[in-house]
Amino acid sequence: MIEMSELKCAGRGTLASGDRVGTGCLACSVPAKQKNLFAWVGTVTATLALTLALCAMFTPPAHAQNLTYIQDPKWQAPPEASAKVNPLANKPQLAAGGKKIFLRDCAQCHRPDGTGLPPAANLTLPLVQQQSDGALFWKITQGNTGKKMPSFSGAPDAQRWQVVLFLRTLERSARAGQ
Q: For residue 124, give the amino acid letter.
A: T
Residue 119 lies near ligand HEC (rule: CB under 6 A):
yes
Rounded least distance, CB 176 to ligand HEC, Å = 21
Q: Which of 28, 88, 120, 170 binds ligand HEC (CB under 6 A)?
A: 120
What string of DSSP letters covers 146-162?
Answer: GGTB---TTS-HHHHHH
CA–CA distances in Å: residue 177 to residues 105, 163, 165, 171? 24, 21, 19, 10
**Facing residues of 149 across strands?**
144
**CA–CA gap between residue 28 and residue 35 (Å, rounded):** 10
Q: For residue 156, give the amino acid letter.
A: P
**CA–CA gap between residue 144 and residue 74 (Å, rounded):** 10
Q: Taking contact as CB under 6 A, which single stretch among the options 22-30, 42-50, 53-61, 147-155 is the one that binds ligand HEC? A: 147-155
Q: Which of 7, 88, 94, 128 binds ligand HEC (CB under 6 A)?
A: 128
Residue 71 lies near ligand HEC (rule: CB under 6 A):
yes
Q: Which of 12, 75, 129, 132 binds ligand HEC (CB under 6 A)?
A: 75
Helix, strand, coil percent values for the chain (each to nearest 5)? 55, 0, 45
Residue 121 lies near ligand HEC (rule: CB under 6 A):
yes
Q: Taking contact as CB under 6 A, which single stretch among the options 39-47, 52-60, 87-95, 106-114 is the one that binds ligand HEC? A: 106-114
* Residue number, 7 or 110, with CB nearest to ligand HEC: 110
What string of DSSP letters covers 115-145?
Answer: ---TTS--TTSHHHHTS-HHHHHHHHHH-BG
Q: Which of 12, 24, 81, 109 binds ligand HEC (CB under 6 A)?
A: 109
Residue 148 lies near ligand HEC (rule: CB under 6 A):
yes
Residues that bind ligand HEC (CB under 6 A): 71-72, 75, 102, 105-106, 108-110, 119-121, 123, 128, 131, 136, 139-140, 144, 147-150, 152, 163
